[in-house]
Amino acid sequence: MGLDVESIRKDFPILSTTSHGKPLVYLDSAATSQKPVQVINAVSEYYRNYNANIHRGIYEISVKATEEYERSKELAAKFINAGSYRSIVYNRNTTEAINTVAIAWGEANIGKGDHILITQMEHHSNIVPWQLLAKRRGAILDYAPLDKENRFIDMEGLKELLERGPKMVSFTHVSNVLGTINDAKEITALAHKAGARVLVDGAQAVPHMKVDVREIDCDFYAFSSHKMLGPAGTGVLYGKEELLEEMPPFLGGGEMIRSVGFDGATWNDIPWKFEAGTQNTESAIGLAAAMEYLGRIGMDEVRRHEEVLTRYALERLQDTSGVETYGPEGNDLKRKGGVIAFNVKGAHPHDVASIFDREGIAIRAGHHCAMPLVTKMLNEPAVARASFYIYTSEGEIDRMVQAVSRVKEVLHLNR
Ligand code: PMP
């Protein structure tokens, strides 16, 4: 049947605005998604009716704010089938979630000469925390290679590196540049067999497809509210309860303690042990509305829509002379999310993005916080990237393809 994109679009006020006098075409959802009125209203209602600090007040609006904040985490636990609410830590974003593990778990478990294994397709937020940890502890950071076409992780290469017995394997579920959907369950099973703990960076997965962390069986899983219709300011860290229990705290301060004396402190129960200081309550409440919104559509429907759209966009772009695309294609589209990195021959991606902008089309150009992948593997200084979501229509893809012709016209690339 497919999504009723036109009716979904009506929920997103920004999609009926214009940019440079033309209807806005927003193709940068991998960076951050737009927000439906349901989310905007939830945040506004909090500010209007029950704005208060959580966990602290015994007065009515503080109790209500606390209940709504905790309800958001219960929804998050269900959204990824975490099993227990105690496994869900709220923080600022995926980056902070990964840093929590790299610092709190890493300091307690990684020593001199230990191996940590990531891949060549990671976002900086799943590279730099491990580089810092490796440096502090004298550990060795290995990178699982990509296949010859730079589309997938080279599984044989990964297996070879697993023979070094890494203590941690951390990889992205979906690449924010290639769109590649990694087989998280298979990689987790291989890593566990090799004796490693596993963290999955789900920033580009949870917004776009059904994710079941217990089926994957990873030890940690991280994602961000702002990429899944929710407000910025909330990240989600899932961790297996026993691991969160034994991990030392990440940040110290209010809320994460049970008691504090002049000579030391004891820790709150999980997940609060990892939630130091005043939390971003309004963002958590908005995220709850976002998860409910996505839940009503159904994540399988979300995925189906993006798969159809990606196939259409890729075919149209590949039919356009002078356009090069990156990541899985053809028979492999089942393993590609709604992200298309591309270049127009003879045009710098920043020029492409600027000309698109004049056409009212928002895309991203650059290294997309994946410099090793873009500059070393794809061997490009930068790439343009269009990314899709539930509100992206076929008509918008057509406008994107027309904009490529405009790029060639403006830059006199007569192909
Ligand atoms: N991992 C991936 C794959 C991403 O695409 C992003 C966001 N671009 C991040 C991590 C970081 O997310 P955040 O900026 O919300 O921490």
CATH number for the domain spanning 320: value is 3.90.1150.10
Residue 216: what pLDDT? 98
Residues 6+ apart with CB under 8 A from 38: 11, 289, 290, 292, 293
Tokens encoding 101: 């593990």
Atom of ligand 1 nearest to the CA of 224: 15
User: Which pLDDT score, from 0 to 100, does residue 212 have?
Assistant: 98
Q: For residue 374, what are the domain limits?
A: 5-30+298-410
Q: Where are the beta strands (DSSP E) in 76-217?
A: 88-91, 115-119, 140-144, 168-172, 197-201
Residues 24-53 have pLDDT tens digits of 999 999 999 999 999 999 999 999 999 999
Domain contains 157:
yes
Task: Residue 151: give its domain's CATH number.
Answer: 3.40.640.10
Considering only CA atoms, which residue is closest to atom 12 of ligand 1?
Answer: 94
pLDDT digit string, tens, across residues 176-196: 999 999 999 999 999 999 999
> Per-residue pLDDT for 155 more than 70?
yes
DSSP code at position 135: H
What's the pLDDT at 2? 83
H helix or E strand, kind and range, residue 337: none
**What value does the mean pLDDT take over residues 282-297?**
98
Residues 62-82, mean pLDDT to the nearest whole number: 97
Q: Beta strand 264-267 with 257-261: parallel, antiparallel or unpaired?
A: antiparallel
**Same domain membership, residue 120 and residue 64:** yes
Ligand 1 lining (C-beta closer than 6 Å): 93-95, 123, 125-126, 172, 176, 201, 203-204, 224, 369
Among candidates 146, 200, 180, 231, which has minimal Cα distance to 338? 180
pLDDT at 415: 58
CA of 235 to the centre of ligand 1 (A): 10
Q: 216 alpha carbon to ligand 1 midpoint, in Å?
A: 20
Nearest residue (by CA) to ligand 1, atom 4, is: 203
Whether residue 242 sits in one domain with residue 219: yes
pLDDT band at 414 (very low <50, low <70, confident <90, very high): confident
pTM score over 0.75:
yes
Hey, which of 29, 119, 123 would you mutate to test ligand 1's pocket, going by the most ligand atoms within 8 Å of its Cβ?
Answer: 123
Give me the phi and psi of 325, to 5 degrees please: -115, 160
* Single residue among 267, 295, 323 that ends a domain in this structure: 295
Measure 94 CA to ligand 1 centroid, in angstroms: 6
Q: Whose structure tokens read 């909090």? A: 46
Nearest to 400 by CA among 367, 357, 368: 357
Q: In this structure, how many other beta carbons lie within 10 angstroms of the beta carbon of residue 1?
A: 5
Alpha helices for 29-121 (secondary structure H): 37-45, 60-79, 94-100, 106-109
Number of domains forming the structure of the chain: 2
Structure tokens at 412: 């006199």
Measure the CA–CA gap between 401 and 37, rounded to whole angstroms: 29
Q: Note whether residue 35 is domain-resident.
A: no
Domain match, 87 and 200 both: yes
- pLDDT value of position 56: 78
68 plus 191 within the same structural domain: yes
| pLDDT band per the 50, 70, 90 thresholds, residue 57 | confident
Closest approach atom of ligand 1 to CA 172: 3
- Assigned domain for 271 exists: yes
Pocket test for ligand 1, best of 94, 98, 182, 223 (most atoms within 8 A of CB): 94
Integer-rounded Cα radius of gyration of the chain: 22
Q: How many CA atoms lie within 13 A of 302 on its CB side?
A: 23
Q: What whole-number distance in Å separates Cα of residue 208 and Cα of residue 205?
A: 5
Name beta bridge partners: 300: none
Whether residue 88 has pLDDT greater than 80 = yes
Q: Is 19 left (phi over 0), alpha (psi -120 to 50) or beta?
A: beta
Q: Which residues are designated catalytic?
A: 369
| Structural domain contains residue 58 | yes
| pLDDT above 80 (res 272) | yes
**In the prediction, which pLDDT does 337 show?**
98
